[in-house]
A = this chain, B = another copy of it.
């Protein structure tokens, strides 16, 4: 079933709000419909109120009153720009950072493809228009000052022009501590650093007479050991609830379970990002609860 067109209620009627300072004391008030209490990654249909003007300059867009009000609430700098950061909705990886002007933000709102203003070319550009690696925008956030934007989206492929997943692959501390060049270590938060560590253990070569293999390597080489550990860790997590153990114990046992389960994912060649994408899709379709309730209770 096609989604119903959203109701275009005025965002805020006050002139203060239009000027960027609402009477609520915040630069621009946040609004939420009942529907919007759904998780943040819920992807809605393309907002239909913004359209390309026929015959206008490439990339030019027309905006309706509500979008115009919102665009006016952004504190554009003296060049009409604001920082725009693209972030992977599933992994949280910061993919790239550019700048948006009013038209770039309007086009992103309308098309759901992350669009920026190129300062060197003085024109709009949609990430992916050449490489086809678009960033499919699920939500857009403004910061408290309304001068910084997050495009929260799912990339179709590598974002960086070098072919890297993210443009951020130069660690300052690595650079300062070594003179040896390397291929670059991408910025990674904890879960993905752990995933990367497990991957690197898989590449280790175990030789007879060599050093003792790491625990991760042992698990990677022994399916029976790995499975018994996952079962054991699940049991220990459950025990923290049934025996009313303290919170730190629950957190610790969850860490153990997550780590061992991620080793299994490595053996199966499955990425955490795939798991998170499944969870996002299930929840955005009210799927996981429905599925769980239907099949298993």
Contacts and interface: CB of A to CB of B under 8 A. Distances in A.
A83 B70 contact: no
Interface in A166-205: 167-191, 193-194, 196-197, 200
A44 B142 CA distance: 33
Interface in A252-294: 252, 254-259, 261, 264-265, 267-270, 274-280, 282-283, 288-290, 292-293
A1 interface: no
Nearest to A180: B31
Contacts of A30: 169-171, 174-175, 181-185
Given A150-B94, A177-B7, A177-B33, A87 B189 contact: yes
17 contacts: A29-B181, A30-B181, A36-B185, A40-B187, A41-B189, A140-B173, A141-B171, A144-B167, A193-B283, A215-B289, A216-B289, A223-B241, A240-B264, A250-B270, A251-B275, A256-B292, A259-B279
Interface of A: 6-12, 24, 26, 28-33, 35-37, 39-41, 44, 47, 49, 66-67, 70, 83, 85, 87-94, 96-97, 109, 139-146, 148, 150, 152, 160-162, 164, 167-191, 193-194, 196-197, 200, 214-216, 218, 223, 225-227, 229-232, 234-235, 237-238, 240-242, 247, 250-252, 254-259, 261, 264-265, 267-270, 274-280, 282-283, 288-290, 292-293, 296-297
